[in-house]
């Protein structure tokens, strides 16, 4: 059953790069199982139609055919509820897997970006002084100055007293 597979701890793997493919594989298996269960649910709904219940019991002889039909209908209803419950559980697991894949991808990206950011390229290259950088780069790296108007609004204005 796929639910047992979904419950296996994924945290035993060491890196996010290893977790993402495993989660994707589990997601694909969950989607396949969901398709299978949806097909079975449609078949059960078709089998539950009164004319199909009657056709299914046509070769069975009984003094109480109504009781046989009712028992068959109950069996199909129970199986339908079971399949629907498994579909609901699978939908929940699938949502968790999708979230896990997104998180593993993000963690893998951040770890690879973090490895490159602290690598030898950063140590061997130096930034040019701010004055030598292009104007667009300077504007992004240097905080803007306060204008006089902004400063004057934040401080009370002093006036001279005439004597």
Q: What is the pLDDT along the chain (163 residues), one digit of tens a residue?
A: 444 544 444 443 457 778 888 999 999 999 999 999 999 999 999 999 989 888 877 777 777 878 888 998 999 999 999 999 999 999 999 999 999 999 988 888 888 877 655 544 444 445 555 555 555 544 555 555 555 555 555 555 666 666 5
Identify the pLDDT of residue 12.
37
| pLDDT for 157 | 61
The 8-class DSSP code of residue 130 comes to G
Q: What pLDDT, on a 0 to 100 scale, did the predictor assign at position 58?
A: 75
Length reported for the chain: 163
pLDDT value of residue 46: 94
Q: Does the model's pTM come out above 0.85? A: no
Residue with tokens 């046509």: 58
Q: Answer whether 19's CB lies under 8 Å from 106's CB.
A: no
pLDDT (0 to 100) of residue 144? 56
List the one residue out of 17, 37, 31 whose CA is nearest residue 109. 17
Domain boundaries, the chain: 2-6+14-124
Residue 145's pLDDT is 58
Distance separating alpha carbons of residues 71 and 66, to the nearest angstrom? 9
């Amino acid at each position: 059953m796929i639910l047992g597979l979904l419950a296996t701890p994924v945290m035993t793997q060491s890196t996010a790069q290893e977790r993402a493919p495993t989660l994707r594989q589990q997601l694909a298996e969950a989607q396949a199982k969901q398709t299978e269960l949806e097909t079975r649910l449609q078949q059960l709904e078709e089998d539950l139609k009164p004319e199909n219940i009657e056709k299914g019991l046509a070769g069975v002889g009984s003094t109480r055919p109504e009781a046989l039909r009712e028992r068959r209908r109950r069996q199909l209803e129970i199986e339908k509820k079971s399949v629907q419950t498994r579909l609901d559980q699978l939908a929940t697991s699938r949502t968790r897997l999708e979230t896990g894949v997104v998180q593993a991808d993000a963690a893998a990206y951040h770890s690879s970006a973090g490895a490159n950011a602290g690598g030898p390229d950063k140590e061997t290259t130096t930034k040019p002084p701010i004055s030598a950088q292009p104007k667009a780069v300077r504007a992004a790296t240097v905080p803007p100055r306060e204008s006089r108007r902004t400063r004057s609004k934040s401080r009370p204005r002093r006036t001279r007293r005439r004597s």
